[in-house]
Amino acid sequence: MMTFRNLSEEDITLDLATKGKHSALSRIAFKLARRTGLDDRAVLRGIWRREKLGSTAIGRGIAVPHALLRSISSPVASFTRLALR
């Protein structure tokens, strides 16, 4: 089992101000794409494709959006906490 205890500062975003789910996922996808050298639209499409199968929301304001992308060979993770409205 792989754990993500060693996230660098660039992998962590706190108090991200967004206008909703699409905006939040777009910003997260952009950041992951920049880090991996992938196209941000491809990352976002992967996240939305997974989201269409069923919500990745756990509850109490927590979600674990994710995607399986053939263009990467090892897991990539980030942590984002949205700003309170």
Domains defined for the chain, CATH in brackets: 16-82 (3.40.930.10)
List the catalytic residues. Answer: 66
pTM, two decimal places? 0.83
Each residue's pLDDT tens digit, 2-49: 555 668 888 899 999 999 899 999 999 999 999 889 999 999 999 999
d(C-alpha 11, C-alpha 31), whole Å: 8
Quick one: tokens of 25?
């996922």
C-alpha 22: how far from chain center: 11
Confidence band for 59, pLDDT divided at 50, 70 and 90: confident
Each residue's pLDDT tens digit, 64-85: 999 999 988 888 889 999 998 7
Q: What's the confidence (pLDDT) of residue 4?
A: 58
C-alpha 39: how far from chain center: 14
Which DSSP category does 19 fall into? S
Average pLDDT over residues 54-64: 89
**Residue 63 backbone dihedrals phi, psi, to 5 degrees:** -140, 155
